[in-house]
Amino acid sequence: MELLYGPIKDYAWGSRCAIAELQGRPVPSEGPEAELWLGAHPGAPASVDRDGGRVALTEVLAADPAGWLGQRVVDRFGARLPFLLKVLAAAAPLSLQAHPDAEQARAGYAADDARCDGHRNYVDPFHKPELLVALGPMEALCGFRDPAVSAEVLAGLGVPALGPVLDALDAGAAGLAEAVRLLLTWPAADRAGLVAAVRKAAVVGPDAELVELLAEAYPADPGVVVALLLNRVRLAPGEAIWMPAGNLHAYLRGTGVEVMAASDNVLRGGLTRKRVDVAELLRVLRFEVLDQPVVAPRPVADGVVTWPVPVADFALHRVTVGRQPEVTLTVPGPWLVLCTSGQVDVADVVAPVTLGPGQAAVGSAAGGSLTVSGAGEVYVASPGLC
Say which amino acid occupies 6: G
CA distances, 151 to each of 96, 179, 205, 208, 283 (Å): 20, 10, 14, 16, 23
Task: Per residue of the chain (386 residues), give pLDDT as tens.
Answer: 999 999 999 999 999 999 999 999 999 999 999 999 999 999 999 999 998 999 999 999 999 999 999 999 999 999 999 999 999 999 999 999 999 999 999 999 999 987 766 688 999 999 999 999 999 999 999 999 999 999 999 999 999 999 999 999 999 989 999 999 999 999 999 999 999 999 999 998 889 999 999 999 999 999 999 999 999 999 999 999 999 999 999 999 999 999 999 999 999 999 998 889 999 999 999 999 998 889 999 999 999 999 999 999 999 999 999 988 999 999 999 999 999 999 999 999 999 999 999 999 999 999 888 999 999 999 999 999 86
359 annotated to bind ligand:
no
pLDDT of residue 324: 86
pLDDT score recorded for residue 376: 98
Residue 257's Cβ-side half-sphere holds a number of Cα atoms within 13 Å equal to 28
* CA–CA dist 166, 169 (Å, integer): 5
φ/ψ (deg, to 5) at 220: -130, 35
Q: Kindly tell me the burial class for residue 17, based on how many C-beta atoms sit within 10 Å of its own C-beta (0-12, 13-18, 19 or more).
A: middle
Per-residue pLDDT at 375:
98
- Please check if 41 is assigned to a binding site: no
16 is catalytic: no
Can you say whether the dihedral through the CA atoms of 209, 214, 218, 222 is positive or negative? negative
Please tell me the distance from the alpha carbon of residue 60 to that of residue 50, in angstroms, as a whole number: 10
d(CA 168, CA 156): 16
249 is in an annotated binding site: yes
Angle between helices 191-201 and 147-157 (to 10 degrees): 90
- Give me the pLDDT at residue 288, please: 93
Give the span between the Cα atoms of 160 and 194, in whole angstroms. Answer: 10
Q: What are phi and psi of 114, to 5 degrees?
A: -90, -5
pLDDT at 206: 85
Euclidean distance between CA atoms 169 and 165, whole angstroms: 6
Q: Which residues have CB under 8 Å from 50's CB, separation 6+?
A: 60
Measured in degrees and rounded to the nearest 5, phi and psi for residue 140 equal -155, 165
Q: Can you tell me whether residue 229 is helix, strand or coil?
A: helix
Give the residue among 291, 287, 91, 39 at the shortest CA–CA distance from 184: 287
Q: Phi and psi for 360 in degrees, rounded to 5?
A: -135, 165
> 321 - beta bridge partners?
376
- pLDDT value of residue 340: 98
239 is in an annotated binding site: no
Q: Alpha helices of the chain — where are they, by DSSP H?
A: 18-23, 57-63, 65-69, 71-77, 102-113, 147-157, 163-169, 176-184, 191-201, 208-217, 223-226, 278-284
Catalytic-role residue among 115, 268, 275, 323: 268
pLDDT for residue 116: 67
